[in-house]
Structure 1
Amino acid sequence: MFPDLSGVTESGFYQHRRRAELRREAKELVTDIRGPGEWPERARHEEVIYDLLQWGDTVFR
């Protein structure tokens, strides 16, 4: 009925939340750069920007 949350740690929760924030930020940046809407390479652009944001978050933390 309910998912097993016994393996969830506070650290894991915050890491997951931060990754979700970075994904949202990457999506917003792609929209700011290229405009709204979908195009064939949009997901790839979002992934590249997400990787850069994640790298920066790791390096400058």
Structure 2
Amino acid sequence: MYASSKAVLCSLVRTLSGERIFRNIRFNCLVPDPTDTPAHMNLNTINSDAVKNLQNKLRT
């Protein structure tokens, strides 16, 4: 959900900046990256374990 919202916002800003450039109106899009927290670090290990499990299931 976060990644898709981020992409839509950046796309909207890119479109608006293209339409308004002839009027000297500029747009900027600032979107934060995920914050490094212990919970965020655990997501990486969970995802890698899930990928390994899926790869093992596909091999058999």
TM over 0.5, yes or no?
no
TM-score by length of 1: 0.38
TM-score by length of 2: 0.39
Structure having the higher Rg: 2
